[in-house]
Amino acid sequence: MPLPRRRLGPFAVSALGLGCMNLSHAYGEPPPAAAAEALLRRALDLGVTLFDTAALYGFGANESMVGRVLKPYRARITLASKCGMTGVDGKRVIDGRPATLRRTCEEALQRLQTEVIDLYYLHRLDPQVPVEDSVGALGELVSSGKIRAIGLSEVSAATLRRAHAVQPITAVQNEYSLWTREPEIALLAECRRLGVAFVAFSPLARGFLTGKLSEPNFVAKDIRLAMPRFQPACFGRNLGLLPPYRALAREAGCTPSQLALAWLLAKGDDIIPIPGTTRIEHLEEDLAAAAVRLDDGLIRRIDALINERTVAGDRYNAASRPEIDTERFPDREPGQEA
């Protein structure tokens, strides 16, 4: 069955997109190039039309791979990338200055082997640069035909309002899943007020909602090693959520991964999850979530089981929090319910 479509500004895209980060970045050793390329082609075969990458992922390597593999199919896909956070001398740097965004766009166009990027996000808000200046530069890229639409990532409702007053914002991409509910504080409502699509990254809670993580034995360079929710004090408590969660998935007739994605899809037609994976069998499982239907009663029970009160730990550690502009729930001690 073909994937249903959802509106992403001027684009009609598959209801589930593909987050390409995992193929080059963040979760330890990436897969071999041949396997990554095969996964991208399989996503195309299965009807995915929204592919999401960034200059940061693999410090350009992900954009290069996505560009190389998808170039023959460019006319049938919506290509999204991000600027404002890149690798400089082997380190991650947030830089939202207009000159930097213009330069990195040119570099991205070359790596992606395309004449225009459909949706170009400001990956992080640079606290040293007014968001009006950053999106003003992106507006110039729209006018010059380098990009078609502007997005923001990991921003608050207030920042979205400021940016949208300067340039039309097509989409916001923030983390959103059963165990990351911060968008529900204010951002989702603001997106809907302004007619901005919401793209949900890490919809499977960085693998937790697959139901397959029994202990946090992550390899070196896996970003989850620094995340409080995966630290022993919190992870042990969070594991207690999985048995009843698996039971709800069985009741719905789907896998835990599919339940998490179906829950997001049911939250609104303006929400587009972009799960990522390195394995074709997981890709196929994830995309099958588009056919799962959840009744209102089951959704309420899922909501009550996994939410901001029942999940232990913050999503980022203290060192990373200043980089994030999103609203936050009040701090809690590990494992403490509000």
Residue 62, pLDDT > 90, answer yes
What whole-number distance in Å separates Cα of residue 37 and Cα of residue 62? 11
Q: Quick: pLDDT tens for 105-123.
A: 999 999 999 999 999 999 9
- Of the two residues 330 and 13, the one the predictor is more confident about is 13
For residue 43, name the pLDDT band (cuts at 50, 70, 90): very high
Q: Which tens digits make up the pLDDT trace of 290-311?
A: 999 999 999 999 999 999 999 9
pLDDT, average across residues 191-208: 97
For the chain, the domains span 5-211+263-293
Q: How far apart are CA 64 and CA 109, in angstroms?
A: 10
**In the predicted structure, residue 225 carries a pLDDT above the cut 50:** yes
Q: Determine the Cα–Cα distance for residues 278 and 262; give it in Å rounded to an integer.
A: 21
Contact in structure between 265 and 290 (CB atoms under 8 Å): yes
CATH number for domain 5-211+263-293, candidates 3.40.50.1220, 3.40.50.2300, 3.10.105.10, 3.20.20.100: 3.20.20.100
Instruction: With CA atoms as reference, report the closest residue to 248 among 300, 205, 289, 199.
Output: 300
If one counts every other C-beta atom within 10 angstroms of the C-beta of residue 250, the result is 11
Burial class of residue 34 in the structure, from the number of CB atoms within 10 Å of its CB (0-12 exposed, 13-18 middle, 19+ buried): exposed
Q: What is the mean pLDDT of residues 268-288?
A: 98
Alpha carbon distance 218, 249 (integer Å): 25
Mean residue pLDDT of the chain comes to: 95
Average pLDDT, stretch 144-152?
98
Residue 49: HSE in the Cβ half-sphere, 13 Å Cα cutoff: 18
Q: Could you tell me the pLDDT band of residue 334, with boundaries at 50, 70 and 90?
A: very low
Crossing angle of the two packed helices 131-143 and 157-164, in degrees rounded to 10: 50
Closest CA to 211 of 182, 246, 244: 246
What pLDDT band is residue 1 in, cutting at 50, 70 and 90? low
Mean pLDDT score, 242-257: 98
Residues paired with residue 79 on neighbouring β-strands, in sequence order: 51
Residue 337 in this model has a pLDDT that exceeds 60: no
CA end-to-end span of the chain: 42
The catalytic residue positions are 57
